Amino acid sequence: MTARLAGRVAWISGAALGIGAATARLFAAEGASVVIVDIRGAEGEQIVSEINAAGGQAFYSSCDVSNSEQVRESIALSVAQFGGLHIVVNCAGIVHVGLLHEYAEHDWDRLMGVNVKSIFFSLKHALPHLGRNARSYMVNVGSISSHVGQRATPAYTASKGAVLSLTQSMALDYAALGLRCNCVCPGITDTPMLREHLDTTPNPEETPRQRVRRVPMHRAMQPDDIARTILYLSCEDSAGVTGTSIVVDGGYLAAAEWDTADDSPLLRDQSSPGEES
Ligand SMILES: NC(=O)c1ccc[n+]([C@@H]2O[C@H](COP(=O)([O-])OP(=O)(O)OC[C@H]3O[C@@H](n4cnc5c(N)ncnc54)[C@H](O)[C@@H]3O)[C@@H](O)[C@H]2O)c1
């Protein structure tokens, strides 16, 4: 089997941790040259070492994605280093927990800068390079909150709604250039961001169990689950797919109300195999 991303160059933001790091490892294993874009130097260099030790090609680019000039420089450096650019994955994101009336203006601006404006900047600075390829790819990481509201994180929810609508609009405007733009919307995913978020809840031990009970698949997503969907949208396995989103949430959004606390008829059948129904 040939590597799906052989000869491709991928610029991946938020790649020092969590979903971004899993995506960088997977892309490198599939043959891509990978740029680890983040503000966490030590963790970013660690991912680079792992990829290079496994025979892949990667380097770390220190870049605050909410800063246009830094994004421009990071993309220029990537092209200079690897000779082109084919894939942009906008994965960097932050959460701010609080009620809207208690937000300071800079909390709102910071979150929108990292989660949304960053996509504008990456498109603006990457397009001249992406446009040189017959086919190129942008994958933006949204969330289940691109589709529904969520308590105590109003700016995050608004930002993830914007990620989806921005993706749809870019898909229309750049399809003629061969650029496909799609969105991946993770559900509850076991990453440092999730753990940090859970620490702000009154009962950090119990909250993950409660949340996962709402997931029909009975588990949190793993960063790899999300990375594999990002890979699908970053190669010709998804030829023909643009301007849409794929939700990777273990079934979380499929039901309005759901508590899987051992009441599945399937589980009942398994626990009493001899009984007639
Ligand atoms: N973990 C979840 O449950 C979950 C659910 C839905 C969506 N998401 C989304 O997935 C994406 C990745 O989240 P994660 O859970 O892996 O988070 P994470 O916190 O584990 O990783 C995020 C990475 O983004 C980097 N980052 C933050 N601000 C940055 C900036 N200004 N410039 C460059 N890099 C920056 C961080 O340093 C970190 O390496 C985010 O967009 C997040 O909103 C996560």
Cβ of 154 below 6 Å from ligand 1: no
Phi-psi region of 72 (alpha: psi -120 to 50; beta: other; left: phi over 0): alpha
Give me the chain's average pLDDT, please.
94
Going by the DSSP 8-state scheme, the letter that residue 234 receives in this structure is T
Res 1: pLDDT:
55
Distance of CA 271 from the midpoint of ligand 1 (Å): 40
**C-alpha–C-alpha distance, residues 4 and 1, integer Å:** 9
Question: Mind listing the domains of the chain with CATH numbers?
Answer: 9-265 (3.40.50.720)
So what's the pLDDT on residue 276? 47
* Ligand 1 proximity of 93 Cβ (cutoff 6 Å): yes
CA of 262 relative to ligand 1 center, distance in Å: 32
Active site residues: 156
Residues 8-28: pLDDT tens digits?
999 999 999 999 999 999 999
Q: What percent of the chain has pLDDT over 70?
A: 92
Among candidate residues 18, 158, 154, 150, the one with its CA nearest the CA of residue 91: 18
- Between vectors from CA 66 to CA 64 and to CA 69, what angle results, nearest 5°? 75
- 115 vs 110: CA distance, rounded Å: 9
- Inter-residue contact 141 to 122 (CB < 8 Å): no
Which range among 6-15, 98-107, 123-132, 204-213 shows the weakest confidence by mean pLDDT? 204-213
Burial string for 99-109 (b: 16+ CB within 10 Å, else e) reads eeeeeeeeebe
Q: What is the pLDDT of residue 264?
A: 64
Taking the CA of residue 163 as reference, the ligand 1 atom at the shortest distance is 41
Atom in ligand 1 nearest the alpha carbon of residue 114 = 31
Tens digit of each residue's pLDDT (9 = 90 or more) over 218-256: 999 999 999 999 999 999 999 999 999 999 999 999 987
Find out whether the beta carbon of 91 lies less than 6 Å from any atom of ligand 1: yes
* 253 alpha carbon – ligand 1 mean position (Å): 21
Query: What is the per-residue pLDDT across 177-224, written as a single tens digit (0 to 9) for each?
Result: 999 999 999 999 999 999 888 888 888 888 888 889 889 999 999 999
pLDDT above 90 covers a percentage of the chain that reads 84
Residue with CA at minimum distance from ligand 1 atom 2 = 189
Please check the confidence at residue 67 and state whether its pLDDT lies above 90: yes
Which residues lie below 8 Å from residue 241, measured CB to CB, with a gap of 6+? Answer: 180, 182, 233
**Average pLDDT for residues 110-130, to the nearest whole number?**
98
What predicted TM-score, i.e. pTM, was given to this entire model? 0.95
Ligand 1 atom nearest to 192, measured from its CA: 20
Chain segment 140-175, per-residue pLDDT in tens: 999 999 999 999 999 999 999 999 999 999 999 999
